[in-house]
Copies of this chain bind each other. A is one copy, B any other.
Amino acid sequence: MELVYKGKTKDVYDLGDGNYLLKFKDDVTGKDGVFDPGANTVGLTVEGMGKSGLKMTKFFFEKIEEKGIPTHYVDTDIENSTMIVKPAKMFGNGLEVICRYRAVGSFLRRYGMYAEEGQPLDAFVEITLKDDEREDPPITEDALHMLGILSKEEYSILKNRTIEISNIIKEELAKKDIELYDIKLEFGRIGENNEIGLIDEISGGNMRAYKNGEYIEPLELEKLMLED
């Protein structure tokens, strides 16, 4: 089992059988000890974070698989904080796909002239490049196409799947009276058919979730979602 990538919040190993193993770590993104799902740096380490993120990921990926939406998910080993996944090719050097239900965060920083903080948004999808140096710039469908990162057809599939998946997660949260404000997803071309599917993880670290107007930290979110 060979380490092929050391990420901010997880490491990736080649299993040698065609699949890969993701090891979830206790590091979370943020700045100066404060959690920020959109940050490009590891801001703090929280014991149990890796396992918690994996439990959430298992829960959501299984819901998404049930609906017939393609993902890279194969299996999880909660005890060892690992997940087995199918190989996936990134779009370019990686994209982040954001689905928004409330105007907060970078959306508000960009479009605050036209939106009130917390204003409802109707599953609004935007894409940013994974590029720490250039602070993850937003990118349009036309630019993705022109730069050879995504075809127009792939863009359309990606956008539709983002809305489908985000709505599933929003509904699951709503069952616990939790409101999803926004979520960050990652996609790739999975397997030999290059099918566009969900990759990476889905946990509290990927989303902003609120209950009674209060932001819920990732570990707390997992407790609210998966215990009782």
Point out residues on A near B: beta carbons under 8 Å: 92-93, 109-115, 121-122, 124-126, 129, 131, 133-134, 137-143, 146-149
Contacts and interface: CB of A to CB of B under 8 A. Distances in A.
Nearest to A138: B138
**In the assembly, how many copies of this chain are there?**
2
Contacts of A121: 146
Nearest to A149: B114
24 contacts: A92-B114, A93-B113, A109-B134, A110-B129, A110-B139, A111-B129, A111-B134, A111-B137, A111-B139, A111-B143, A113-B129, A113-B131, A113-B134, A114-B149, A115-B147, A121-B146, A124-B146, A125-B142, A126-B140, A126-B142, A137-B138, A138-B138, A140-B140, A140-B141
A117 B143 CA distance: 16
Contacts of A92: 113-114
A112 B134 contact: yes
Given A113-B129, A140-B140, 15 more contacts: A110-B129, A110-B139, A111-B129, A111-B134, A111-B147, A112-B134, A114-B129, A114-B148, A124-B142, A124-B146, A125-B142, A126-B142, A138-B138, A138-B140, A141-B141
A93 to B, nearest CB: 6
Nearest to A110: B137
B110 A134 contact: yes
Of A109, A139, A143, chain B has the most CB atoms within 10 Å of the CB of A143
Contacts of A110: 129, 134, 137, 139
Contacts of A93: 113
A136 B187 CA distance: 29
Contacts of A141: 140-141
